[in-house]
């Protein structure tokens, strides 16, 4: 572990990623805000920062596609993961009521996670590059509200008009701590993540891959497909499993799986980081 | 087949969905524009329209999540599918140059499909609810450009500043024709689509399901996971296969698969509709 680490996150201050980054760093670390996820990966690949916290998937909206694509393209590793409960609030300038606003601003993922609420209050939607950008916009515009976390109300001096407005109560985002190395140490609750594409891009070939994991009694926690961008029907599979890549059964299975694939990459072995509540 | 059908699509006029709908209807049919995909499904479920054309997935960006969620929730069927090549253009007011514009407007899917281009020309991005909405915005604003199809230039009197700007050349969108009934007739090139969730939501259980299709030598053309929205790690699987649900081997396999699932739904059997070029 490096002391006084520089840790990148999707800024600006006040975003859910900021909240997440605060939870897995200590006061000696320096948090560095980036304005998009690709820049975080670039900066980490260039050793300008030591680690980064990036959102991987949300329980309502699914994977953060930019993160999956970047994990595919950059030679970086997942060295930890943790879950952050997501509670959305509608924030407005002081004294503004729901009838005063005609527009709701937020990041597209936040908008998607509150689709029923937005439909119900019947407002127009404006997508911004972060929830904090939306808050800054709302500071200038009394006829707009922002959907985001509660931190934004303190930081931008906005008022909470409505709370817990996410469509599904158990809304959770899974964040990854990424770095140049994954976690070498085998513990009792490790996970390993891989990406692969199948020979001939045949989705049916996934059966052969899954039979290898079944043979070794390896428990898979996620199977996700993404277009490989090489044309319709050609997919990459993101697979997470329980166990460390240095355990013999995982290591054997991964070797056999590799033979079934055109492309194969281990994203890392890591364990779940325990984070405190709000 | 109903004559003089009312066919819904994601409008307004000039969108890729409009282009797609024109390709699978004839001049006796009436095209009905909707401003969002959920309203199309609602209207079809209420029998206000007879059929609808909706985008299902794009070869670069993956599935259209709203469509998958709606296929899950509404009791409607896929009765045909077809592929539309997607060519993106940057359109501006007459006489405007690339240096004059500071902003690029479009639908989030179009923005995502031209991410490299937008990064290269280094403009801010404004997300709109359709490419046609973005075109209307650009008609009012000389410092903005719209990314969309070529139809928009005629319809909104805009000039083509740049063409074929999509990140990947073989960019194709798969559209579905949806209705109350799927296609009963067995042909030599049918496909069948299903949605399922596994007992106990264990991704590893997908192996049992795939082994049934492997046993019957059924070729799968797509396997996609989506969060079931019931919490992290709980997934729905969208599976497409070659063959008609009324063929004995498909029918047997689907019966056996059903026993492995908590939730099971056949989205329909259908064949690929041949569409003309541009």
- Tell me, yes or no, if A61 comes closer than 8 A to chain B by beta carbon: yes
Distances (CA, A) of B82 to A203, B39, B57, B87, B206: 19, 22, 11, 16, 28
Residue A96 and residue A58 share a domain: no
Judge: A220–B231 Cβ closer than 8 Å, yes or no: no
Residue A276 lies in a domain: no
Q: Which residues of B touch A86 (CB under 8 A)?
A: none
**pLDDT for the residue numbered B278:** 44
Residue A158 lies in a domain: yes
CA distance A159 to chain B (A): 26
Beta-bridge mates of residue B31: B7
d(CA A248, CA A144): 56
Residue B19 and residue B66 share a domain: yes
Report the pLDDT averaged over residues B248-275: 93
Given a cut of 70, is residue B277 above it in pLDDT?
no
Residue A97 and residue A145 share a domain: yes
**pLDDT for the residue numbered A203:** 66
Give pLDDT tens digits for B152-178: 999 999 999 999 999 988 889 999 999
Residue A79 belongs to domain spanning: 6-85+171-179
Give pLDDT tens digits for B42-59: 999 999 999 999 999 988
Judge: B127–A127 Cβ closer than 8 Å, yes or no: yes
**pLDDT for the residue numbered A278:** 44
Higher confidence at residue B75 or residue B12?
Answer: B75
H or E stretch covering A23: helix A16-23
Given a cut of 80, is residue B1 above it in pLDDT?
no
**pLDDT for the residue numbered B58:** 86
Inter-chain contacts counted by CB atoms under 8 A, chains A and B: 119
Residue B93 and residue B81 share a domain: no
Residue B96 lies in a domain: yes
Residue B115 and residue B58 share a domain: no
Higher confidence at residue A32 or residue A205?
Answer: A32
Residue B185 lies in a domain: no
Residue B277 lies in a domain: no
pLDDT tier, B13 (very low <50, low <70, confident <90, very high otherwise)? confident
Given a cut of 60, is residue A136 above it in pLDDT?
yes
- Tell me, yes or no, if B221 comes closer than 8 A to chain A by beta carbon: yes
- Residues of chain A above pLDDT 70, percent: 96
**pLDDT for the residue numbered B95:** 95
Q: Which residues of B touch A59 (CB under 8 A)?
A: 227, 229-232, 234
Residue A99 and residue A44 share a domain: no
**Domain final residue, candidates A123, A154, A179:** A179
- Tell me, yes or no, if A109 comes closer than 8 A to chain B by beta carbon: no
Give pLDDT tens digits for B79-94: 999 999 999 999 999 9
**pLDDT for the residue numbered B28:** 93
Query: A136: which 2 tokens?
Result: 């800054």
Judge: A174–B125 Cβ closer than 8 Å, yes or no: no
Residue A21 lies in a domain: yes
Domain with A158 in it: what CATH number?
3.40.190.10
- Tell me, yes or no, if B85 comes closer than 8 A to chain A by beta carbon: no
pLDDT tier, A1 (very low <50, low <70, confident <90, very high otherwise)? low
Query: A13: which 2 tokens?
Result: 């201050």
Residue B278 lies in a domain: no
d(CA B103, CA B8): 31
Q: What is the ipTM of this complex?
A: 0.73
Beta-bridge mates of residue A190: A271
H or E stretch covering A179: strand A172-179
Per the prediction, chain B carries an average pLDDT of 90
Residue A208 and residue A112 share a domain: no
Query: A199: which 2 tokens?
Result: 């020979």
Ranges of beta strands (E only) in chain B are 6-10, 30-34, 51-58, 62-63, 77-85, 89-92, 103-106, 124-127, 144-148, 159-163, 172-179, 190-198, 220-227, 235-242, 261-271
Who among B61, B125, B210 is closest to A207 (CB)? B210
Report the pLDDT averaged over residues A143-156: 94
Quick check: pTM over 0.90? no
d(CA A94, CA B76): 46
Please enumerate in sequence order all residues whose Cβ is within 8 A of that of A1, keeping only pairs 6 or more positions apart, or say none. none
- Tell me, yes or no, if A214 comes closer than 8 A to chain B by beta carbon: yes
Highest mean pLDDT among B85-94, B126-135, B196-205: B85-94
Per the structure, how many domains does chain A have?
Answer: 3
Give pLDDT tens digits for A169-195: 888 999 999 999 998 899 988 999 999
Domain with A235 in it: what CATH number?
3.30.70.260
Residue A218 and residue A145 share a domain: no
- Tell me, yes or no, if B235 comes closer than 8 A to chain A by beta carbon: yes
CA distance A230 to chain B (A): 7
Per the prediction, chain A carries an average pLDDT of 90
Residue A221 lies in a domain: yes
């Amino acid at each position: 572990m490096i002391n006084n680490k520089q840790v990148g996150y999707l800024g600006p201050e006040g975003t859910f990623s900021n909240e997440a980054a605060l939870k897995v760093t200590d006061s000696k670390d320096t948090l560095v805000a980036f304005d998009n996820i690709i820049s975080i990966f670039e900066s980490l690949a260039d050793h300008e920062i030591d680690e980064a916290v990036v959102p991987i998937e949300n329980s309502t909206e699914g994977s953060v596609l930019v993160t999956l694509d970047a994990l595919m393209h950059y030679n970086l590793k997942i060295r930890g993961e943790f879950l952050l409960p997501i509670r959305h609030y509608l924030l407005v300038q002081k004294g503004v009521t729901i009838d005063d606003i005609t527009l709701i601003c937020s990041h597209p993922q936040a908008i998607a996670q509150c689709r029923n609420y937005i439909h119900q209050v019947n407002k127009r939607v404006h997508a911004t590059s972060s929830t904090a950008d939306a808050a800054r916009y709302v500071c200038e515009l009394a006829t707009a509200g922002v959907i985001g976390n509660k931190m934004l109300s303190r930081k931008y001096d906005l008022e909470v008009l409505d709370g817990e407005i996410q469509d599904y109560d158990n809304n959770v985002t899974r964040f990854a701590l990424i770095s140049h190395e994954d976690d070498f140490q085998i513990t009792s609750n490790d996970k390993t993540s891989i990406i692969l594409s199948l020979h001939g891009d045949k989705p049916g070939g996934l059966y052969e891959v899954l039979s290898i994991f079944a043979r070794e009694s390896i428990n898979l926690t996620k199977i996700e497909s993404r277009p490989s961008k090489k044309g319709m029907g050609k997919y990459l599979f993101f697979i997470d499993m329980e166990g460390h890549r240095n355990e013999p059964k995982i290591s054997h299975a991964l070797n056999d799986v590799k033979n079934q694939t055109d492309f194969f990459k281990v994203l890392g072995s890591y364990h779940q980081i325990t984070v405190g509540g709000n």
